[in-house]
Structure 1
Amino acid sequence: MKEKIIEKSAEMFLNLGFKSVTMDDLAQEMGISKKTIYSHFKNKTELVHETVMSVFHEITCGIDHIREQSKDPIEELFEIKKFAMVHLKYEKSSPQYQLQKYYPEIYAAVTEKKFENMNECTVANLERGVATGVYRSNIDVPFISRIYFLCLSGLSDESYFPTDRFPKIKTMADFLEYHLRGIVTAKGAKKLDTVLNQQEDA
């Protein structure tokens, strides 16, 4: 039952927001009593924490699976973006904003984990891109990796990127192209154009 509660919580939190969903809402949606929820989680903060870490683990495992396929570095980034957008449901709410505002300690903990994981992933992607000739050999890998992380995190800030003006899916796609245009070689630019054309046709 605990796993089912976490699964439903993740769905509701990501669709409606961490603050918006109450324990009553969750109990009603699942057709169970609040007492059942509280038998597994002492309060909503604990539920949010376990749900956030569960979603983080699921996304990390999914990204690791994509990386294991050893795709072209450019294709890999597009596959990761697609996977993350589907699982985080960015179009329906701003879960990161609500998490940061109402559960700052949980937000800080998961952000640290996200940076560690994403930095390792991005550095590996950049180094492989340089080795295969699709990224420029003179790029500063640690600098670009950190800039990439900060920019992706910033895109979720509603105060700078309100969804009514900057739809999440388009904004993420625009940023990924912006990122790649700054580091690709001529060979990489051709590959990027091919991938973008395939995205448009899909």
Structure 2
Amino acid sequence: MTIEEQKILERCERLFLRYGAKSVTMDDVARDLVISKKTLYQYFTSKDELVHKVTAFHFQHHNEVVNTIYATSQDAISEMLQITEWVTQHLKDINPSLIYDLRKYYPKSWQLFLEHRNTHVYNCMIENIRKGREQELYRDDFDENIIASIYISRMEMLIDPQIFKPDTYTLDQVMPQYIQYHIRGIATPKGIKKLEKIKTTIL
């Protein structure tokens, strides 16, 4: 990937998160980047390709950040809170229509979302649960696969405007409540104590 292409992807990522994918035209992108459409089409042959590459770029960055947190965090609960804090800050201004746009108009990009959710996020949850159990922070009386599946199934719900109306709730209000709800449901007394101790310093 060239530096120029990376700059385009970074800017388009911000545009799509803010306005959705469908409403942003190639003219809008070229105007925002102060380049010609001809130059833009030298990097991306179509709007579909641009959306697909932006989606892949977004998840690649997400995976890199999460993997770094996993490698450096001291315990499973700190790990979950740090990831939640980063995701909240990164996506706090997301336009709810983006998920709808990908699902309806950009099936290849939507497939990337599903693969990311069902593979990377799912596997991260399994790893976190096992780490938490080893550290005696999570109980061992539940099925890790069921809990991981429940967790990932709620990802879209968190930014669904029909459930959390944007004029009432923001993502940085919803996410901390959601992660505490999740952790309290699987934590040992030791884990609850850990959560209470560190939640205000991270969330």
| TM-score (norm. length: structure 2) | 0.91
- Per the alignment, in what secondary structure is the counterpart of residue 95 of structure 2? coil
Letter in 1 for 2:21: F
Q: For residue 134 of structure 2, what is the aligned residue in structure 1? A: 131
C-alpha distance in 2 between matches for 1:162 and 1:19: 21
Q: For residue 166 of structure 1, what is the aligned residue in structure 2? A: 169
Aligned sequence identity (%)? 33
C-alpha distance in 2 between matches for 1:119 and 1:49: 22
Gaps of 5+ in 1: none
C-alpha distance in 1 between matches for 2:74 and 2:107: 36
Q: CA RMSD in A?
A: 1.6
Letter in 2 for 1:177: Q
Which of the residues 28, 35, 39 maps onto 1:25? Answer: 28
Q: For residue 192 of structure 1, what is the aligned residue in structure 2? A: 195
C-alpha distance in 2 between matches for 1:33 and 1:26: 9
Q: For residue 91 of structure 1, what is the aligned residue in structure 2? A: 93
C-alpha distance in 2 between matches for 1:71 and 1:14: 31
Cα distance change of structure 1 residues 92 and 148 upon mapping to structure 2, 3 Å threshold? closer
Cα distance change of structure 1 residues 104 and 164 upon mapping to structure 2, 3 Å threshold? farther
Flag as ranges the 4+ runs of structure 1 deviating above 6 A.
none
C-alpha distance in 2 between matches for 1:24 and 1:199: 40
Q: How does 1:33-182 map to 2 (within 5 A)?
A: 33-87=36-90, 89-94=91-96, 95-182=98-185
Letter in 2 for 1:180: I
C-alpha distance in 2 between matches for 1:188 and 1:138: 14
- How many residue pairs get aligned? The number is 199
Task: Encode CA deviations 1:9-43: one digit per residue, 9 max, x unaligned.
Answer: 11111122112211111111111001111111111
Shift of residue 8, structure 1, vs aligned partner: 1.2
C-alpha distance in 1 between matches for 2:202 and 2:84: 12
Q: Check conservation: 1:91, 1:169, Cα contact below 8 A.
A: no
Shift of residue 83, structure 1, vs aligned partner: 1.6
